[in-house]
Amino acid sequence: MSMTATDKAKKYLLLISIFFLLTTAVSLALNIRGTQTQYRELATVMGRSFFQTIVATRKWNAEHGGVYVPITPQTQPNPFLEDPLRDVTTTGGMRLTKVNPAYMTRMVSEILRTKEIQAHITSLKPIRPQNKADEWETEVLSAFERGTPEETTLTRGAGADIFRYMAPLKVDAPCLKCHEKQGYKTGDIRGGISVSFSYAPFQTAMTGQNQKIIIIHLFFLAAGFLIIWFLGTRLIARVRELQEAQSLISKLENILPICSHCRKIRTDATETPEESWINLEEYLREKTATEFSHGICPACYKALYEDDLLKALGKQRDR
């Protein structure tokens, strides 16, 4: 059975609705992914800021050849620092110990840990055993050797995901005092500092942002479907009206006015009433391009000519 114009209109409206739904779904997915990327980049900026701050303090320390601080139960001499002037006593009798960049990094890390932020200085050839790289740090340090500028990752923590940032530490002149014996030279990748902190605040903000995005898309979807339904019902109604009108016109066109006496056909293509009536042959020739040959059927022959023929034959016999 052939599809009606109304059925075609409904089909097109369904296709438009499906396309609108898919477009909205794709937009929603792209926006959610964009939000995830945005907060991931924000966490990266935060990790990079902590790293650069630690590097700045290390540089200041190295440029001053280390700094001396009083020896306390919390600040003990660094057993891994080989320096004859590591521990000194002031003229006033106060015992001081030198804090080198690596030791300062550990001390800063302990302060940051109270803020739920961890900084770990590490290397593939650490002097201090506690500075040994874990599995992820080992992979990243190898990537640094290949030229990677920085790395980030998300790992599952006890209560929330942990964001980890790591960037390399390069050897400069002050570093050679302690690390030249390990075979390093200026410009080499000596190790790196990884910064870790909870990703929960970012996830909370991201969830709130995604909820807003979902609500906006649902509202847009509902409004779009409402508009499609409203316009679609009006369109289908108009199509149905046109279809009914076309059907009526088709029926009217199939009714041919014909003269009951002379059998002429009435058309609307002429200017005067007299000219609107044309012969049946002419009408069929215009509509179908049919050509005619003329003859006479037996009934018409009998009605028109048989009596005259018999009369003519009778006259001939009388003669």
| Domain boundaries along the sequence of the chain | 46-206, 256-293
Does the pLDDT value for residue 240 go beyond 70? yes
Least confident range of 102-116, 201-215, 292-306: 292-306
Tokens standing for 57? Answer: 């303090």
Name the band, by pLDDT with cuts 50, 70 and 90, for residue 1: very low
Give the mean pLDDT of the chain: 82
Mean pLDDT of 44-61: 90
- Over the stretch 187-239, which tens digit does the pLDDT of each residue have? 677 789 999 999 999 999 999 999 999 999 999 999 999 998 888 888 888 87
Mean pLDDT of 107-115: 78
For residues 151 and 292, which has the higher predicted lDDT (pLDDT)?
Answer: 151
Q: Spell out a b/e string for 184-201, using b for 16 or more CB atoms within 10 Å of the CB, else e.
A: beeebbbbbbbbbbebee
Give the predicted TM-score (pTM) of the model.
0.66
Strand order in the sheet with 87-89: 67-70, 95-99, 87-89
Distance separating alpha carbons of residues 174 and 165, to the nearest angstrom: 25
Place of tokens 């807003």: 212
- Provide CATH code, domain 46-206: 3.30.450
- Over the stretch 4-44, which tens digit does the pLDDT of each residue have? 777 888 888 889 999 999 999 999 999 999 999 999 999 99
